[in-house]
Structure 1
Amino acid sequence: MPEGVALVTGASTGIGRHLVEGLAARGMAVAGLARNGDRLRTAMDEVAAATGRRALAVATDVTDRASVEEAVGVVREELGPIALLVNNAGLIDEFEVPVWEADPDQWWDVVSSHIRGAQLTIRTVLPWMVLRNSGRVVNIASGMGTRGVPDYSAYSVAKTGLMRLTESLVAALEGSDVRAFDVAPGVVDTPMTRSMRMWEGFTDWTPPERIVELIAAIAAGELDQWSGRMLRAGADDLDTLRAVTPEDAARQLRLRPYGDTDPLA
């Protein structure tokens, strides 16, 4: 079972809300960050009532450096050292249009919510993990980060960048017992997903419990050999992941050579 304190961004609704309750139910103290303070406090009060665990709400804009630094300070003071950081917060393209038709400010807000948000939390939380030589970071990835998506270009770019951030982080942490992972949650029935035209009529939802159990296994140190790589909730089998050690660039973003004579092969 995972132990210690989990910090989850975007915790007031959707996947983040499922994560804080699921991790608390497994014994972790949980801190939730989100911009909407009222909705966040309601969510965390519900988690505490349902699980009997400590659930702390800290209203935070993850794209604001001072806000993140203050929030992490509150979490450390109230709950103790952070053992698990889950970067879940992030926006989606407001309109399903090609990049040249997208509102440029909203487009960049989407990218910033995922990339700047994760970079700021990592910048604030990781030094303490490195000091303790213990900790796990999960960046919530997406299959849309592995390919170009014409109507969700900002989200696709953001998730691709997040995967690169994870890999860079792992390279910098080599030799330590601090690990980082990409977890793609599949298609979960959330308000955000329901708002996307591409999922109209979709019914084969990924159960939120599959995401929780995967991240709980990461927090417990059961999947360390997958650090720096993408795992997919609802598709990957936990027993298989525990038994497999990936090689080369498996589950990482790479160029595919056009043939044996490709100079970039």
Structure 2
Amino acid sequence: MADATADDTADGGTPAVSPAPAEVALVTGASRGIGRAVALGLARAGLRVGLLARDGEALAEAAAELTAAGGRAAFAVADVSDAEAVRDAVAALVADLGPVDLLVNNAGRIDAEVPLWEADVEQWHGVVATNLLGSFHVSRAVLPAMVARGGGRTVDIVSGAGARDWDVASAYTATKAGQLRLVGHVHEAGFARGLRAFGVAPGTVETRMSTSMLVHRNRTEFTPVERTVDLVAAIGRGELDDWSGRYLRVTHDDVTSLRAHGTPAPGARRLGITPWGEDDPNAGEGLVPPAR
């Protein structure tokens, strides 16, 4: 349940509640890679963890690994691009583990490293369906209960590719930027209701996806996945609530550096248009991040 003694206020003077530390997490794309590592780290931190992905056999193995580490886990098979399947999966996990108070939208795909005019249409649609619609479907299935209970936290695993222009993988970059917009939306719409939302970019972790990419074919150093695990666990504990609505990048950010920075300035680490100067007519509301 939420802690109604928080000092923060949302726009309009409404008291903004702070969620209690998470007890139940839901991680999508949890059968392998970053999702599996995050799920295991949260289980080791004492959370009950729901695992969701398409590969039932891999999910069963991941759940067994979490249980062997002393955690409590349950899994459900669903494709995040299927809204009805997601609703059923979330309902089953909640029935087993209890209400979700930390959601980690991690499931993701990448398209071919070609310019947009060479992109495969079906593949492009598939990336959008998994990365952006998938995040929406799972959030839509989880957040109403969070709001009803007084709040909770969401993490979208995003990418530096969504925060800058890139000459390839146009579906991936567009969807990761879109996920950052969803993070900002959940923050703006849910802050006063106890929701906290974060976009976490994990850097280049050594996974099946990253090692298949041409841009990384000669890479020998990768970002340790433990950095992402540590940051997500700290978010679940409520240690980084001042950074709600913002973009965090584990190659440069950790719990210590973010907390040492203090409360970020309005608009800091928010996705927006950079004006050419104070006289830029496009520097008004709606084109730069709103203050919070």
Q: By the TM > 0.5 criterion, same fold?
A: yes
* TM norm structure 1: 0.96
- Does structure 1 conserve the Cα–Cα contact (< 8 Å) formed by 2:22 and 2:102? no
Tell me what 1:56 maps to.
74
Tell me what 1:262 maps to.
280
- Does structure 1 conserve the Cα–Cα contact (< 8 Å) formed by 2:63 and 2:73? yes
Q: Does 1:28 align with 2:28?
A: no
* 1:45 equivalent among 57, 61, 64: 64
Tell me what 1:141 maps to.
158
Q: Does 1:173 align with 2:190?
A: yes
Q: Deviations over 1:139-183 (max 9, x none)?
A: 011000011222211100000000001101111113122211100
* 1:127 equivalent among 128, 138, 144: 144
Tell me what 1:155 maps to.
172
Tell me what 1:105 maps to.
122
* 2:257 equivalent among 227, 240, 247: 240
RMSD of equivalent CA atoms = 1.3
Q: Secondary structure at the match of 2:226?
A: helix
Query: What residue identity is the alignment partner of 2:145?
Result: W
Which whole-Å CA distance do the structure 1 matches of 2:254 and 2:57 have between them? 37
- Does structure 2 conserve the Cα–Cα contact (< 8 Å) formed by 1:2 and 1:28? no
Q: Residue 234 of structure 1: CA displacement? A: 3.2
Which whole-Å CA distance do the structure 2 matches of 1:260 and 1:139 have between them? 32
Unaligned runs of 5+ in 2: 1-19, 284-292
Q: Residue 259 of structure 1: CA displacement? A: 2.6
* 1:17 equivalent among 9, 16, 36: 36
Q: Which runs of 4+ in 1 moved over 4 A?
A: none
Aligned length: 263
- Does structure 1 conserve the Cα–Cα contact (< 8 Å) formed by 2:186 and 2:195? no
Which whole-Å CA distance do the structure 2 matches of 1:223 and 1:6 have between them? 17
Unaligned runs of 5+ in 1: none
Q: CA separation of 1:2/1:203 partners in 2, compared to 1, >3 Å: closer, same or farther?
A: farther
- Does structure 2 conserve the Cα–Cα contact (< 8 Å) formed by 1:2 and 1:216? no
* 1:92 equivalent among 99, 110, 113: 110
Q: Residue 240 of structure 1: CA displacement? A: 2.4
The percentage of aligned residue pairs carrying the same residue is 49
Q: CA separation of 1:188/1:2 partners in 2, compared to 1, >3 Å: closer, same or farther?
A: farther
Q: Residue 249 of structure 1: CA displacement? A: 1.0
Q: Residue 225 of structure 1: CA displacement? A: 0.7
Q: Secondary structure at the match of 2:156?
A: strand
* TM norm structure 2: 0.87
Q: Secondary structure at the match of 1:214?
A: helix
Structure 1 segment 193-204 matched on structure 2, within 5 A: 193-204=210-221
Tell me what 1:249 maps to.
267
